Every structure is written in C-alpha cells, then in structure tokens.
Amino acid sequence: MGLLINKEKRLAAKDLRQERRSIILETARQSFMRFPFADVSLESIDKATGMRQGKAGLIFGSKEELFLELLAIEIAEWNKDFSSRLDQKIVGREALITVLVESVLPRQEFLRWMGLLHVVLAGNIEGGAVHVFMHGLQESLKQNGARLEAVAVPEGEGALRLVRFLLYAAATAAVCHPVGSFAIAMMQSDEAWSSLDLEDELRLIANQIV
C-alpha cells in the first residue's frame, strides 16, 4: 500500500512540475512579446506567474536558456508549417522560393525572436546549452533540408541553408519593420529605408540561398 501511495505522490509531483514549467513558458512568451529582451528577467517572470521567487531559475537556469526553449518551440511550429507547404507537390526552384518566403512572412514575432538569437547566445548561458540548441536546430531541419536538396540545393547543405535563411530573414525583418528606438532612428535616416518591402527582400535572400 505504501509503495502505491509513494508512486501516486511521485506522479502528482511530476504533473505539478510540468504544470509549473508550462506556466513559466507561457508567461515568458508573453513577456518576450511585450517587452524588449533586456527588460525581461527571471524575477519579473516569477512575479508574473505568482510563483515563489527563484522558481523560473531553478527550472531553466537562466533567462537565455528559457528564451532558447521558447525559440525552439517556435522553430518547430514554423518547420511543421513549412513541411505542410512543401507537401503541396512543389515543382521547381521558383515555387520552392515562393513557399519558403510565404512560410515566414506572416510570422513577424518569430522573425523578431530569431533576430535576438545572437544576443542570447552571447549572454549568460553555458556553452553546453548553446551546443544543444544549435545541434537540435540543425537536426530538426534535416528532413525539410533534404527536400530542398531534392529540388535545388547541394546534397548535405539543406538544413544549414534553412538556418541561414531564417537568420538573414530575421535581420531583414528588423530593418523593414523596425520597433522601439530603432524605428525612431530609421524614420530620421535615409528615406530609402522606408521603401523596403519585406516580401521582396525575402525573395532576394531566398534566391541567393536556394
């Protein structure tokens, strides 16, 4: 009887940990969407969840590691959508470029987060976590990378080229759709910047990568 009770307690504790993890992830997602990355802290996330101070740090270690987990989820969602688009019997390089561009165009928040990746990787994060994220990123894109290789990309380069496209697309989106102080600075600079069209720029990038 005692063993059964202990097992039930362990399962209940596991469910509670998973529930707390999910709450922290969703709260962090909302925080990163609403505020600049620098203004978000584990302490502010704890406060927003109503949990005991330090709980987010115990589970995720650092704000950067928490962000990477959220970004991995976003990448997986984009990758799934991109895969379903590829299932529509894409024929030829131009059609592939169109699908690639259309897969990221509506995902402005995703592109903004991808644009923060270099800042996050240079922050308070262990090298092992960086390796795990980057390795997982390329592994998750291997299947769709192979589908690129079947159409227009050299063998073995598909996943890496998808990573490059996402990073370049993120940087371009930051220029075409600036926010915060950067947006103010762009408004005061050359008028040519304001005439950039994100879809056109993404096509140029895809054309170089695919």
pLDDT at 3: 59
Do 83 and 162 reside in the same domain of the chain?
yes
Do 77 and 57 reside in the same domain of the chain?
no
- Strand ranges (DSSP E) for 44-164? none
Contacts of 115 (CB under 8 A, 6+ apart): 170, 171, 173, 174
Which residue, among 176, 56, 71, has the nearest Cα to 117 in the 3D structure?
Answer: 71
pLDDT at 123: 76
The structural domain count of the chain equals 2
Do 132 and 70 reside in the same domain of the chain?
yes
Cα pseudo-dihedral 52, 25, 36, 165, rounded to 10: 160
CA–centroid distance for 21 within its chain: 18
Neighbours of 90 (CB within 10 A): 18
- Tell me which of 43, 61, 79 is where a domain ends: 61
> Which residues form the domain of 37?
1-61
- Match 């097992």 to its residue by tokens: 7
Q: Decide if pLDDT at 164 tops 90.
A: yes
Predicted model pTM: 0.83
- Tell me which of 9, 28, 61 is where a domain ends: 61
pLDDT band at 70 (very low <50, low <70, confident <90, very high): very high
- Tell me which of 61, 82, 97 is where a domain ends: 61
Residue 152: give its domain's CATH number.
1.10.357.10
Do 67 and 40 reside in the same domain of the chain?
no
Which residue, among 35, 31, 67, 69, has the nearest Cα to 47 in the 3D structure?
Answer: 31
List of long-range contacts for 137-144, beta carbons under 8 Å, 24+ apart: 137/72, 137/75, 137/163, 138/163, 140/72, 140/75, 140/76, 140/79, 141/79, 143/83, 144/79, 144/82, 144/83, 144/86
Do 78 and 116 reside in the same domain of the chain?
yes
Do 110 and 166 reside in the same domain of the chain?
yes
pLDDT in tens, 101-124: 999 999 988 999 999 998 888 876
Higher pLDDT, 12 or 27: 27
Do 56 and 149 reside in the same domain of the chain?
no
Do 2 and 90 reside in the same domain of the chain?
no
Do 42 and 69 reside in the same domain of the chain?
no
Do 157 and 187 reside in the same domain of the chain?
yes
Tokens of 93: 């390089």
Tokens of 201: 């720029």
Please report, for residues 26, 71, 91, 109, 113, the alpha-carbon distance to residue 33 in angstroms, rounded to integers and kept in the order given.
Answer: 11, 12, 36, 7, 9
pLDDT at 196: 78
Do 57 and 72 reside in the same domain of the chain?
no
Q: What is the Cα–Cα distance from 36 to 22, expressed in whole angstroms?
A: 22
* Stretch among 6-15, 97-106, 182-191 having the lowest mean pLDDT: 182-191
Rounded to 5 degrees, φ, ψ at 3 are -65, -40
Do 125 and 95 reside in the same domain of the chain?
yes
